[in-house]
Structure 1
């Protein structure tokens, strides 16, 4: 089972890796400050719908979480809180390697009601856990990035890191591939998207593998600027 899900903790340690409607009393205006007003007032979203495809493994699939607690769902909420008419589609599959992602990417894109404005590509951790060589991971990413380039879909790559116990050469090759691919295919990049949480065990489920809902919230807060920046202007 550990090989079917992305083992964040391996990386972490290795990198150290209503009531009655008749009488409702209103609170006095002086008891509600500006921040509270902001939280209870719905923020209007503007512009055309921006479709973002979150394509990845268990980190996007929301393993062990409620339906609305996963990264794509929380990211959509965060984008809409900024007034962006975002629709984030969850295309995460637990256990996916880059090879599995490569096999299903075109089908997933063809199944969309409209072409995504952005694809967030998050894979590679399961390759590392299975000992798949970085050159194979690179080849799978290249095929996916070429597919997305041919379809003229911008990409945000979510980078990962290898723990040092895989060996210096493996670590060097694996860690470098995200930045090199981002440059080669003109993709936006988050160099290590777990940076904000990987050292904090309280942000992981009891399995010490997958982030809690709070952990996902931290990840969204840390990466929402990158997502917004990677999203092209509305046409």
Structure 2
């Protein structure tokens, strides 16, 4: 009787192990929404932080392949992401995602001031920030409606002109808005980015006045990975 019992037990053990292995090897998908910084403009390899983060995640976690779908568009503002989310295929992609990244706002800020950050106009920037708040709230609401459980990472803005204390002040204000919005939702994490390029050489880490180069995007990828509690818990 014992040999039969142990044989049956062995079958169950192998089945359980195979089932666990199958679960562990599940393919995971992350969707990333944003502008040229998510698209990867300035990286000669056209990878940006998205492909670098994908590569690091696949090296770090051995639970199955991780793919990041890049929805970044050069010049995009928050209203552009809202337009993307009107596409049923995009919404379906978000609904099935194991994680999401939203990195948006640089163009909202710059364009609220007329297309550059020279001669800052307080009233226009304030108006732009309110539009940004409304749009970003709609984005987060839509993503959470489509997907109730996937962690969402809201990436903060960085100051590409660290010599200007006035620009820094506005960046801080927009980041405070991001942080407060993220805190209103379950499973949405704010990851600050503004300190990443502090005391870093512009020539070494940027391809132009705004966009990082390969080394700069690598810093962003590592900052997202190291700053994300939700990534560590969900992958």
How does the TM-score come out when normalised to structure 2? 0.69
C-alpha change, 1:97 and 1:69, in structure 2 (3 Å) is same
TM-aligned CA deviation for residue 103 of structure 1: 1.6
- C-alpha distance in 2, partners of 1:70/1:117? 21
- C-alpha distance in 2, partners of 1:167/1:194? 9
TM-aligned CA deviation for residue 115 of structure 1: 1.2
Q: 2:48 aligns with which of 66, 70, 76?
A: 70
- C-alpha distance in 2, partners of 1:70/1:136? 27
The DSSP-based 3-state class of the residue aligned with 1:48 is coil
Q: Partner residue of 2:67? A: 87
TM-aligned CA deviation for residue 112 of structure 1: 3.0
The DSSP-based 3-state class of the residue aligned with 2:26 is strand
Contact kept? 2:30, 2:68, Cα under 8 Å: yes
Q: Partner residue of 2:230? A: 229
The DSSP-based 3-state class of the residue aligned with 1:197 is coil
TM-aligned CA deviation for residue 231 of structure 1: 6.4
Q: Partner residue of 2:153? A: 156
- C-alpha distance in 2, partners of 1:222/1:77? 14
The DSSP-based 3-state class of the residue aligned with 2:220 is helix
1:33-52 correspondence runs (5 A): 47-52=25-30
Q: Are 2:102 and 1:101 equivalent residues in the alignment?
A: no
Q: Partner residue of 2:105? A: 124
Contact kept? 2:153, 2:191, Cα under 8 Å: yes
Partner deviation per Cα, 1:193-223 (whole Å, 9 max, x = no partner): 2422254211001x22211111111221222
Contact kept? 1:68, 1:74, Cα under 8 Å: no
TM-aligned CA deviation for residue 228 of structure 1: 6.4
1:74-223 correspondence runs (5 A): 74-82=52-60, 83-84=62-63, 85-107=65-87, 109-110=90-91, 112=93, 115-131=96-112, 133-151=128-146, 152=148, 153-160=150-157, 164-165=165-166, 173-186=173-186, 187-191=188-192, 193-200=193-200, 201=202, 202-205=204-207, 207-223=208-224
| Structure 1, gaps ≥5 residues long | 1-45
Contact kept? 2:157, 2:171, Cα under 8 Å: no
- C-alpha distance in 2, partners of 1:113/1:229? 17
- C-alpha distance in 2, partners of 1:157/1:109? 18
Which range moves more in the overlay, 193-202 or 208-217? 193-202
C-alpha change, 1:97 and 1:231, in structure 2 (3 Å) is farther
C-alpha change, 1:111 and 1:65, in structure 2 (3 Å) is farther
C-alpha change, 1:78 and 1:101, in structure 2 (3 Å) is same
Q: Compare relative contact order (CA 8 Å, sep 6+) and give the higher one, 1 or 2.
A: 1
Give the RMSD, CA atoms, in angstroms: 2.6
